[in-house]
Structure 1
Amino acid sequence: MDVIVEQKLDSDCKLVWKVITDPNLMRNWFFENIPDFKAEVGFTTEFPVDSGERIFTHLWKIKEVIPGAKIVYEWRYKEYDGIGEVTFELFHSEFGCIIRITHSGLESFTQEIPEFSEESCRGGWNYFIKDRLTNYLNR
C-alpha cells in the first residue's frame, strides 16, 4: 500500500530541492532535531521523535538521488520491525513546482500501533507537505 501526497508550490524547484535536502532548512519545516542530512546515496542518519506516547527513533538511509528531482529514503525505526521507503519527487510546472511524496511499505509495520496506519501516515505527510513546507516556502 502506498500513501501519495502531492502539493503545488509557488516556488522554483531549485529552491524546493534545497529546502528538502539542506539539514539547516529541513529543521524549519520537517523534524527540528535532524542531526545531519546529505542527499548522497548511502548517507544514514538517526534521531528520536517523541509522539507523546511512544518514541520513534527514525533510521534513514538514502537509496537514490537524482539531484534537483528525486530522493529516496529507506525509512525504519529502531524500536519497531518494518521497513518503508519514502520518495520525494519534484516536477517543474508553469506556476513553480509540484512535490510528490510516495510512502510505501507501511504494511511491513505492526498495525497495532496507530501511528503506522494508512490514515496516520497520510495525515502526517499532509501536515508536513501541505502545511509546514508550504507555509515555510511562503513566509
Structure 2
Amino acid sequence: MNAPITVQYKINAPIEKIWNALTDKEEMKSWYFTIRDFELELGKEFDFYESCDGGKYLHRGTVLEIIPEKKLKHTWSYPELSDSVTTVIWELQEDNGGTQVTLTHENIEGFDGLGETFSRASFTEGWNSIIGESMKEYLEK
C-alpha cells in the first residue's frame, strides 16, 4: 500500500469558521465544489461533478465520521470509472490564533490505472490548490 497524501496549511481563521466552510453546502460553493446533496450526517452519500483536463467526472462520497470542529471523514470515488474507493480525512486543530487544516487522502493507488488526471501528483497538486489557495483565500478575506 502506498503512503497517503497529506496536505497541511495554517489558515488565519477560527476553527468554527473553517468547520462551517467545510460542512455547509452553501459555503462549499465559494471555495470547493457545488455539492447539492451534501448533508453532515453519518452514512449520507453525496455526488458532484468536476470538470478536469477536458473530462467531466462524477465524484461520490459517503460521510464516515464526524467530530464537530475537529474531524470529517468521507469516502471519495469515481463510480463511473472504477470500483476503487478512497478515504479523505479533514482534521482541524487550533494553532496560535488560527487553525491548522490537515487533509489526508488514503488508498489512491486504486486509481493508478485511470491515467495522469488521477495520479498521486495530480491529487497532491489539486488538494494543495483547494486548501492552500481556494479555502485559504475564502476564509482569510
| CA distance, structure 2, for counterparts of residue 77 and residue 35 of structure 1 | 17
Structure 2: stretches of 5+ with no match in the other structure: none
Name the structure 1 match of 2:32. Answer: 30
126-135 or 49-58: bigger deviation: 49-58
| CA distance, structure 2, for counterparts of residue 10 and residue 97 of structure 1 | 6
Q: Percent identity, aligned pairs only?
A: 28
The number of residues matched between the two structures is 138
Name the structure 1 match of 2:70. Answer: 69
| CA distance, structure 2, for counterparts of residue 108 and residue 15 of structure 1 | 33
Task: Tell me if the contact between 1:29 and 1:132 (Cα under 8 Å) persists in the aligned partners.
Answer: yes
Can you list the C-alpha shifts for 1:4-63, whole angstroms capped at 9, x where unaligned? 0000011110110001000000010001x3113222111111122121422210111000
Asked whether 1:136 is paired with 2:141, we answer no
> 4+ residue stretches of structure 1 with deviation over 4 A?
none
- Opposite residue 100 of structure 2, the aligned amino acid is I
Structure 1: stretches of 5+ with no match in the other structure: none
| CA distance, structure 1, for counterparts of residue 101 and residue 53 of structure 2 | 29
Q: TM-score, normalised by structure 2?
A: 0.93
Q: TM-score, normalised by structure 1?
A: 0.94
Match of 1:104 among 103, 106, 129: 106
Match of 1:88 among 81, 87, 90: 90
Task: Tell me if the contact between 1:39 and 1:71 (Cα under 8 Å) persists in the aligned partners.
Answer: no
RMSD: 1.2
Name the structure 1 match of 2:129. Answer: 127
Name the structure 2 match of 1:18. Answer: 20
